[in-house]
């Protein structure tokens, strides 16, 4: 049976079993997928919009929130498929968890807690100033990331599956522990080329951190109006953004250079 007086009828089926979950009558032709998600949510409160994947085909891609019903390749009676994405967590929360962990984990090694190296009081501090400098740089890096997460970043997707947080944290937290273990180890020795190597590494580290921050601000400005439209970034008057002339993701370029700079402290 077709839609009534210009309205659409939408049936939503389970993507795996093909069982009908709900039937929506008198849906406006200009209704968006987001609005359909909200209608579905009223019928099934446990499946909030961020947890829903709505598709035209069971094995196809998820439809975007802004897509309009009457513009889809469907008749006046549209069949859509639902997939449960599982519990979700906001990206801001994800980043805060990922970046807070390395800060505290590093300090466990920096202060040489007895349970980390199993040492007595003679080895509770390092005689090398570069160890203190490395701690400052590492802390600065993750504090910067936390500040960017709260005040700079704008996310195109509001959430990610909760199950992924363990995998993400293992990467950031594990890498921080690996670095901290060697730099703060009692047998640590300063870099081979001494102060020259350290000074060069610090200068490059700070330049890359400034560059990374500049790119994040430039990317954030592209969505200052709250839009989720993907725009092409271009260099600005800020010299750090001129790297857009050569690469498409300068923020990662700066991070890539930053890593060996920090590793130079070892």
Question: Cβ neighbours of residue 8 under 8 Å, at least 6 residues apart?
Answer: 27, 28, 29, 31, 69, 70, 74, 76, 77, 78
Residue that is last in its domain, among 86, 117, 140 = 86
Give the tens place of pLDDT for each residue, 166-208: 999 999 999 999 999 999 888 888 888 889 999 999 999 999 9
Q: Does some domain include residue 1?
A: no
Can you tell me the distance from the alpha carbon of 186 to that of 117, in angstroms, rounded to the nearest whole number? 8
Same domain? For 58 and 147 the reply is no
Same domain? For 114 and 210 the reply is yes
Pairing of strands 77-84, 8-14: parallel
CB 11, CB 77: distance < 8 Å: yes
Query: How distant, in Å, are the alpha carbons of 8, 122, 235 from that of 79?
Result: 11, 72, 45
Nearest to 257 by CA among 141, 110, 130, 94: 141
Q: Does some domain include residue 3?
A: no
Same domain? For 171 and 144 the reply is yes
Give the tens place of pLDDT for each residue, 61-106: 999 999 999 999 998 899 999 999 999 999 999 999 999 999 999 9
* Domain CATH for 28: 3.10.20.90
Same domain? For 119 and 32 the reply is no
Give the tens place of pLDDT for each residue, 205-262: 999 999 999 999 999 998 876 676 778 899 999 999 999 999 999 999 999 999 888 8
52 is in which domain, residue-wise? 8-86
Single pTM value for the model: 0.85
Same domain? For 33 and 58 the reply is yes
Q: What is the number of structural domains in the chain? A: 2
């Amino acid at each position: 049976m077709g839609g009534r007086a210009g309205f659409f009828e939408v049936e939503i089926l389970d993507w795996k079993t093909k069982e009908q979950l709900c039937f929506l009558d008198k849906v406006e032709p200009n209704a968006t997928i987001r609005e359909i998600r909200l209608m579905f949510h009223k019928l099934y409160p446990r499946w909030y919009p961020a947890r829903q994947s709505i598709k035209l085909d069971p094995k196809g891609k998820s439809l975007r929130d802004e897509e309009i019903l009457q513009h889809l390749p469907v008749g006046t009676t549209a069949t859509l498929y639902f997939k449960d994405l599982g519990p979700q967590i906001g990206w801001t929360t994800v980043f805060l968890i990922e970046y807070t962990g390395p800060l505290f984990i590093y300090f466990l090694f920096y202060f040489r807690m007895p349970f980390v190296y199993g040492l007595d009081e003679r080895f509770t501090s390092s005689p090398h100033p570069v160890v203190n400098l490395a701690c400052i740089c590492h802390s600065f890096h993750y504090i910067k990331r936390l500040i960017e997460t709260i005040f700079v970043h704008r996310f195109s997707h509001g959430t990610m599956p909760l199950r992924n947080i363990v995998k993400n944290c293992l990467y950031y937290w594990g890498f921080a522990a690996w670095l901290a273990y060697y730099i703060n180890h009692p047998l640590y020795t300063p870099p081979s080329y001494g102060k020259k190597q350290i000074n060069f590494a610090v200068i490059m580290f700070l330049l890359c951190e400034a560059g990374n921050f500049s790119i994040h601000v430039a990317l954030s400005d592209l969505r200052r109006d709250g839009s989720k439209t993907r725009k092409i970034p271009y260099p600005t008057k800020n010299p750090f953004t001129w790297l857009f002339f050569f690469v498409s993701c300068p923020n990662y370029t700066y991070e890539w250079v930053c890593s060996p700079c920090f590793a130079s402290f070892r």
